[in-house]
Amino acid sequence: MHENRRSFREGAKDIAPILLGVMPFAMISGITAVNVGISQPMAMAMSVFIFAGASQLAAYQLIAAGALPLVVIYTALVVNLRFVVYSASIAPYFQSLSTPWKWLYAYMLTDQGYAISLIRFREDETVSRAWYYLGASLPVWLVWQVFSAAGIFVGSAVPAHWGLDFAIPLTFMAVLVRSLENRAAVIAAVVGGVGAAAGYHLPLNLGLVLGVAAGILAGFAVDVASRPRRARKGER
């Protein structure tokens, strides 16, 4: 039990600096939802049940533009495709958990919690992985809901000149930098970013799909190519 508490506290401690970027990100999400005409109760429900900031913002923008419901749903699914990759890579660490816990952890999966947890799991085999992940993920969920509610219910009082939009890219950049731990990850990030930028003007956010697919394939190719070299080093 002591080890579980320690792992939980360490997860919360490691995620704490990143929460400073989540706060304005959540407020922007709440403000945007109300500004596009979504009712406050519905916006709060979306924050709790969807709990996916980037896809929520994309959906709000499409709703404001009068896009068809199918386009809104499709875009949200595309934006969230990265969680399929996240789940596949982190799932082996939670194989011993019961199904209800796995469902809870899947719901709480975020870019921030995933990156922090995976780095720690690879570096420290003694940490209680389930409790560390909970410690890294629960604060993100709590901060997101509190500041989303602030944006939804009192967002109109936030001065426009505060420029909270800067927090969105900064939040993801903080996660990205910590994840660039090898050559394959760097190549995947560069190729993915270039691909997404090149396809920026494609309809239905297809540029994002292009970037994700290109980044994954490039990173996988580099990783496969480097395996023989790593194996030879291991033999020595």
| Terminal Cα-to-Cα distance of the chain (whole angstroms) | 41
Whose tokens are 């490039």? That residue is 218
Q: Could you tell me which residues come within 8 angstroms of residue 63 by beta carbon, excluding any fewer than 6 positions away? A: 36, 37, 38, 72
Residue type, 209: V
Q: In the prediction, which pLDDT does 227 show?
A: 63
The enclosing H or E element of 12 equals helix 2-35
- How many helices (H) and strands (E) the chain has is answered by 11, 0
Q: In the prediction, which pLDDT does 205 show?
A: 61
Give backbone dihedrals phi and psi of 4, rounded to 5 degrees, phi first: -65, -45
Written as tens digits, the pLDDT of the chain (236 aa) is 788 899 999 999 999 988 888 888 888 888 888 888 889 999 999 899 988 888 888 888 788 878 888 888 888 887 787 788 888 889 999 999 999 999 999 999 998 899 899 889 988 888 999 999 999 999 999 999 999 999 899 865 555 555 545 555 555 555 555 556 667 777 877 887 788 788 777 776 667 677 777 877 887 787 777 766 655 555 45
Q: In the prediction, which pLDDT does 35 show?
A: 84
Instruction: State how far the Cα of 169 lies from the Cα of 182, in Å rounded to an integer.
Output: 22
DSSP string, 13-30: HHHHHHHHHHHHHHHHHH
Of 168, 171, 180, 174, the C-alpha closest to 119 is 180
Q: In the prediction, which pLDDT does 81 show?
A: 79
Instruction: State how far the Cα of 39 lies from the Cα of 32, in Å rounded to an integer.
Output: 11
What count of Cα atoms within 13 Å lies in the side-chain half-sphere of residue 91?
12
- The residue ranges of every structural domain in the chain are 2-179, 181-236
CB-based contact 87:106 (threshold 8 Å): yes
Whose tokens are 């996916």? That residue is 52
Three-state secondary structure call for residue 198: helix
Q: In the prediction, which pLDDT does 204 show?
A: 60
